[in-house]
Chain A
Amino acid sequence: MQKPNSYRSGPDEAGRFGAYGGRFAAETLMPLILDLERAYRAAQADPGFQSEFEDYLQHYAGRPSPLYFAERLTAHFGGAKIYFKRDELNHTGSHKINNCLGQILLARRMGKTRIIAETGAGQHGVAAATVSALFGLPCVVYMGEVDVERQQPNVFRMKLLGSEVVPVGSGSRTLKDALNEALRDWVTNVEDTFYIIGTVAGPHPYPELVRDFQSVIGREAREQIIQAEGRLPDTLVACIGGGSNAMGLFHPFLDDEGIEIYGVEAAGHGIDTGQHAASITGGRPGVLHGNKTYLLQDDDGQITEAHSISAGLDYPGIGPEHAWLSDMGRVNYVSATDAEALAAFQLCSRLEGIIPALEPAHALAHVAKIAPYLPTEHIIVMNMCGRGDKDIFTVAKALGIEI
């Protein structure tokens, strides 16, 4: 494959990143998707939109999030310097608020009066419920029954924020089924409804606009690391479910070719067990939820169930731009198991006083694998994309502790 002049110029007019992406949507939705693209282009060209977005990021979400030198973990591993981009300190406790603020401002510009969203771990659902409350719009969040069960605190949070949470009992009853159900709602309520997709997936232009709204993470990290160290980092690490926090961190650095980039997928019980959520490591290209990308599927093209201890990574696909970056060899896609993430979760809590979400605990598990073998002047920036309060019940259960 030919190396592009820039890794940051995609997607093309058809919404493709190489062979991936596109608009694989039902005809009922196509006029809406094209409308959304027009509205997004107009918003991009409007300085007023950008300044309104930045104003909410600063005064409502609490940006910029700090870039923090994790000194004790660095000493513990005895190698590379480890920095956390502290997106878990955002309002609502994860990076998801960045994207939700961007999308709801777009929804308002388009005159939409009803919000729908899908959620896995509940972090995106909470963020969507939060911005809906902020702007006084009714919001319906679709969530798989399995996830409703394992993320009770977030379910209650969404209800407190005034949203309706609809448990989805079809299929594997997790994130992919929540997405199906949200699409079914959208196809039914085309006139008034805006669908806030939570990750860099779905039909074009969603992968692009979610990436753009999340790229504030990488832009800040760039400035902050130069301020702290006087130079760019050597390595970036982020966890990947659909891949929005990772794309947000990676994108502003993609053309700095000296920087090694790692996306960490969820290996569940292990890639060879078949019970995992690692679409790139253990899947192959296909079409689902509006885009062509790597998917977990059987020989007949039926989507197989993903597994991860982390509800936010428990998805059988990945954003199409990641699929392309993997094929191009620009980003390395690796994986961490449930057990490795659990160990990292505990280590980070004890050594840094930061209880990470199970999702970035996967990223930290990979940092744990590479940091000890890197020189002490090597700089790693890892996206701490969510806080772990929501996960304490899952972790307690995994550790055999009753609370």
Chain B
Amino acid sequence: MKGGTARIDARFAKLRAEGRAGLVTYVMSGDPDLATSASILAGLPAAGADVIELGMAFTDPMADGPSIQVAGLRALKAGISLKGTLAMARRFRQNDQETPVILMGYYNPIHAFGVEPFLAAAGEAGVDGLIIVDLPPEEDDELCLPALRAGLSFIRLATPTTDDGRLPAVLANTSGFVYYVSYTGITGAGSADAEAVGAAVARIRRHSDLPVAVGFGIRTPARAAAIAAAADAVVVGTAFTDAVRDSLDDDGRAGPGTVEAVLALVRSLADGVRGAARGSAS
């Protein structure tokens, strides 16, 4: 199977064929340590993750709440680097050719790595797309356009503040799917009304044929089911970094139950998503 945008498109085509929404799981690469993180990653597809977002740790994650901030710092302390995250993706890809892997984070570590060397290494590692929080369409020359040329998807965030006037610019160079941030705020803070989410998804669909994944503030199977009824996919992140945090021993190290704590949560959220009544899904 071809990687990059093709792998993401194939996954959403499969979800459509199955008549259900997908579960997108965000986990922080290297959290709480490299070995545990690799085990979590390897277990995600069987637990029900349809798409994986692999967080690239950064010291100054401006759009993230405390849980993901601290997860990133745990990963950095454990020795993760962008190079390490790429190695993590490569190992995952050796055993799974079908689950899309999207790297998510901030631009500076990629800038420091070098854009072209990074894109080459990401493609070689089997990474399919990028979500870079601090690269709006105004800065597409930096990474978005080079990534598209390299065959990787550049997945854009659309937010409640992205009005109809701005949506076309936001969607212009987007591929794979659109990530709708369901409330204005940092990760893990609030929770959006399912009805408002439905209206927002409909608004995006008027501008784009791409699948719409909805995230921010979804942490329970019931919420996941409610959002799954309105969207093509549901994104969950903070609930997993919380699960990692809660599983650590007194010295902050992974406990015997860390991997299972995360995967059990993935299973229950996947059940919620798969059990959702589908309404107007495309």
Contact = CB atoms under 8 A, between A and B. Distances in A.
Note whether A and B form a binding pair. yes
Interface stretch (A18-26, A61-69, A126-134, A219-227): A18-26
A25 B136 contact: yes
B139 A288 contact: no
B69 A170 contact: yes
B278 interface: no
Secondary structure of the B contact surface, majority rule: loop
A111 interface: no
Contact of B170 (A22, A27, A180): A27
Nearest to B136: A30
B111 A286 contact: yes
A302 B134 contact: no
Interface string B138-149: 110000000000
Contacts of B39: none
A265 B138 CA distance: 31
B157 interface: yes
Contacts of A303: 59-60, 108
A176 interface: yes
B277 to A, nearest CB: 30
A301 B82 contact: yes
How many of chain A's residues touch chain B, expressed as a range?
35 or more
Nearest to B65: A184
B161 interface: yes
Interface string A289-308: 11010010101111100000
A27 B136 contact: yes
B112 A30 contact: no
Interface stretch (B16-24, B179-187, B199-207, B227-235): B179-187
A285 B109 CA distance: 11
A290 B138 contact: no
A301 B160 CA distance: 30
B59 A302 contact: yes
A271 interface: no
A26 B63 contact: yes
B156 interface: yes
B189 A180 contact: no
Interface of B: 57-63, 65-66, 69, 73, 76, 81-83, 106-113, 133-136, 138-139, 156-163, 166, 170, 181, 184-186, 189
Given A28-B161, A170-B69, A183-B63, 13 more contacts: A22-B139, A23-B139, A24-B107, A24-B139, A26-B62, A27-B159, A27-B162, A28-B184, A30-B138, A190-B161, A287-B107, A301-B111, A302-B59
7 contacts: A24-B107, A27-B157, A27-B181, A28-B63, A187-B185, A190-B161, A303-B60
Which 9 A-B pairs rank lowest in CB-CB distance, beginning with the nearest? A301-B112, A301-B109, A188-B185, A28-B159, A300-B81, A301-B108, A24-B134, A26-B63, A183-B62
